[in-house]
Amino acid sequence: MISKNNLVENICCVGAGYVGGPTMAVIADKCPEIKVSVVDINEERIKAWNDDNLDNLPIYEPGLVEVVKRSRNRNLFFTSDVDNCIKNADMVFISVNTPIKSAGLGALQASDLKWVEVCARRIGAISKGHTIVVEKSTLPVRTAEIIKEILEATTKSAKKNGEEKTFSVLSNPEFLAEGTAVNDLFNPDRVLIGGEDEVAIEKLKSIYLKWVPNKKILCTSLWSSELSKLTANAFLAQRISSINSVSAICEATGANIQEVAKAVGLDSRIGNKFLNAGPGFGGSCFKKDILNLVYLCRYFDLDEVADYWEQIVHINNWQQNRIYEKIVDKLFRNLSGKKIAILGFAFKANTNDTRESPAIQIASNLLEEGSILQIHDPKVSWDQIFNSLSTYYETNKLDKSNINNWTLENSVESAVNNADAVLILTEWDIYRDINWEKISNSMREPSWVFDTRLITDPRKVRDAGLNLWRLGEMESCKDGTFGLS
């Protein structure tokens, strides 16, 4: 319900996940006059957000603890009391999960909107007076239409009971990246607001204007806003698949992927960001958002366009697969009983998120070959690895005989103990400074290091007597640095 003075005073965010939590913490930090309640049906998650020990927040993000500390229980609240918070809010953000549908029409491509619909129905049923509903989740184009229809149905039934209930729907997609979420929220490249209701747009804009310059706030139609979010993710993922495809050409020709990326990125039209070759993109969004775009294209009979975008996901799977095949090849095409140290399970550094991490597919393939995995990651828990592998095995209907042949180690040293190979999958800083001399003494010979993130010093690894394979470099190039500084 909008207050008498017409300012937003009470925000409710439905979904206390990787987006809802940090985004609302920053809004609360920058707008102490607004009460911000983050609600979730997952009580464990809410409990963790309220934990006295801030190290136990459910999400690891550099800088997040400080932001939460400043505003929690001042004007930032985490609660499972969904209905009460919706009822008192004049602006409700929908920040729930929108994964790929696992069954039915559009299975494995279309977004599953069941959580969004539940949310919209709850907002419709519970809210009072005028409420601005903001899509923060990433959604298929024209989802706002569905949300509006659901809300309008409740408007009509409220009228019959003599109650005045109205809604404005805005799209305000989130562009934060995990690992840099807090910084991205404090200094966004842009804030995108899509909508038709000028007054509602101004109200949302006034919140961001507390810390974001006006010129960085872009207002568009609802549909442009929804499509821009999918397109931005598709473009970013496209760059990674492009550079990863070139990494394979480098390995075959003797070119060096870091040199090529640098040379290409110096063209100001191309730019130097997002050109790090790696084991393939992970994270909860790139794959699902591209597949969602593909589904949308097919729905509108744009098959050529769908094929174009689908290839990005195909290259991403291929990259993960070829890394696994390389390891099998180097270890005499037999992994039975061999120990492999996996360094990094998160999909990128500085996050505890493992969703769609390349480590899941690669580790599963290695387990299937009979290897024993000794996994290390500074932030990922045993349960997360267990759940990720179980889901992957079930989805891909794999034989589970070897599924438990892994341990989570609490140091790099214990992970490499007696290992035949070390596989670096996440670019955590601690893996940049490994003492390879020391490590080599505890490995079984001949020992291999597979560096898929290009964070090793090739000379140090080889001087320690270890065999080294680096992504995007020809193996005969023993120096590996190619004069790069």
Residues that bind ligand NAD (CB under 6 A): 14-20, 39-42, 45, 82, 95-98, 115, 118-119, 137-138, 174, 176, 178, 284-285
Nearer Cβ to ligand NAD (114/314): 114
Cis upstream peptide for 446 (omega within 30°): yes
Instruction: Provide the minimum distance between the beta carbon of 304 and ligand UGA in the complex, in angstroms, as a whole number.
Output: 25
Q: How many CB atoms lie within 10 A of CB 41?
A: 15
Strand-pair partners of 385: none
Annotated catalytic residue, options 12, 119, 250, 285: 285
**Which amino acid is present at 138?**
T
Instruction: Provide the minimum distance between the beta carbon of 15 and ligand UGA in the complex, in angstroms, as a whole number.
Output: 13
- Among 80, 85, 77, 100, CA closest to 28: 77
**How big is the site for ligand UGA, counted in residues (CB under 6 A)?**
20
Nearer Cβ to ligand UGA (29/174): 174
Span of 169-177, 326-334, 396-404, 476-484 interacting with ligand UGA by CB under 6 A: 169-177
Span of 37-45, 115-123, 271-279, 379-387 interacting with ligand UGA by CB under 6 A: 271-279
Instruction: Provide the minimum distance between the beta carbon of 254 and ligand UGA in the complex, in angstroms, as a whole number.
Output: 22
168 φ, ψ (degrees, to nearest 5): -125, 135
Q: What is the DSSP letter of 444?
A: P
Q: Do the Cβ atoms of 443 and 419 come closer than 8 Å?
A: yes
Assigned token pair, 471:
């992504």
Range 198-257, binding ligand UGA (CB under 6 A): 233, 236, 240
Angle between helix 222-253 and helix 143-160 axes, rounded to 10 deg: 150
Task: Find which of ligand UGA, ligand NAD, none residue 31 binds, CB within 5 to 8 Å per kind.
Answer: none
Nearer Cβ to ligand NAD (178/226): 178
Q: Do the Cβ atoms of 291 and 313 come closer than 8 Å?
A: yes
Span of 37-45, 114-122, 268-276, 379-387 interacting with ligand UGA by CB under 6 A: 268-276
Work out whether the CA dihedral 172, 173, 175, 181 comes out positive or negative: positive
Nearer Cβ to ligand UGA (147/275): 275
31 is catalytic: no
477 is catalytic: no
174 is catalytic: yes
Burial 245-271 (b: 16+ CB within 10 A, else e): bbbbebbeeebbbbbbbeeeeeeeeee
The residues binding ligand UGA (CB under 6 A) are 138, 174-178, 233, 236, 240, 274-276, 278, 281-283, 285-286, 347-348
Residues designated as active site: 174, 229, 285
